[in-house]
Amino acid sequence: MEFDNIKSNWKKTGQGKKKQTELLMMTKIKNHPNIKRVRIKLIIETILIIAFLTVYYDGFDGTNKPFWANLFLVGTTAVYIIVRFMGWLVLRNPIKGGNLKKSLISFQHTLKRITISILLTSFLFGSAIISFFTSSIEFTQGKYFVLVGMIISLILLVYLSSRNWFKKIEVIKKTLIEFENISE
């Protein structure tokens, strides 16, 4: 019975052929579901951050905060969005050149740089938010504990993000090792 299924499937091959343009669309990296998720996340983050920036000055008493806190918040927010966009572009176009191995090596180096940039800007963005909201507060012992909790949370989130990014880089390293093993 199984042999009949195999024969039937063999006869069906070639049916439902895809056109060249359909195959190209399927193999484009920008159509990969993970890249689409990153793009959607980037769009949502950007919209929410821009919405926050439009209301922070009036809604969170930006007029009563020091100029440096406002500047730090707006500046790091802009850099945060730009670096995230650059990261998305890198993930969207990982292949550079015709040699897959060289392309992977180049992608690995670029991904390391983008990872460091994203982690640094995430930390600065979180620091800017904490600085903005705590810049005009008179601290008590309880408020210091809350501040320490916010700083620990920021460090923990950046650490977890770094682990996620370095796992992605590790996958590329393993792939490169497999290339080395194949070429021997």
Give the model confidence (pLDDT) of 51-108 as tens digits: 999 998 888 888 889 999 999 999 999 999 999 999 888 888 777 767 777 888 888 8
- Residues 124 and 131: their CA atoms lie apart, in Å, by 10
Band (28; pLDDT cuts 50, 70, 90):
low
Tokens 């000055």 sit at which residue? 57
- Residues 48 and 50: their CA atoms lie apart, in Å, by 5
What number is the average pLDDT over the span 147-153? 95
Residues, the chain = 184
What number is the average pLDDT over the span 17-28? 57
Q: What are the structure tokens assigned to 145, written together? A: 């504990």
Supply the pLDDT for residue 69. 92
89: closest CA among 127, 10, 153, 35?
35
Alpha-helical runs (H) found in the chain: 2-12, 20-27, 33-59, 67-92, 100-134, 141-183
Band (34; pLDDT cuts 50, 70, 90):
confident
pTM of the model: 0.76
pLDDT at 16 over 70: no
Give the model confidence (pLDDT) of 105-147 as tens digits: 888 888 899 999 999 999 999 999 999 999 888 889 999 999 9
- Residues 67 and 87: their CA atoms lie apart, in Å, by 30
Among 25-29, 81-85, 128-132, 177-181, the least confident range: 25-29
Band (174; pLDDT cuts 50, 70, 90):
confident
CB-CB contact of 131 with 69 (8 Å): yes
Query: SS3 of 64, please?
Result: helix
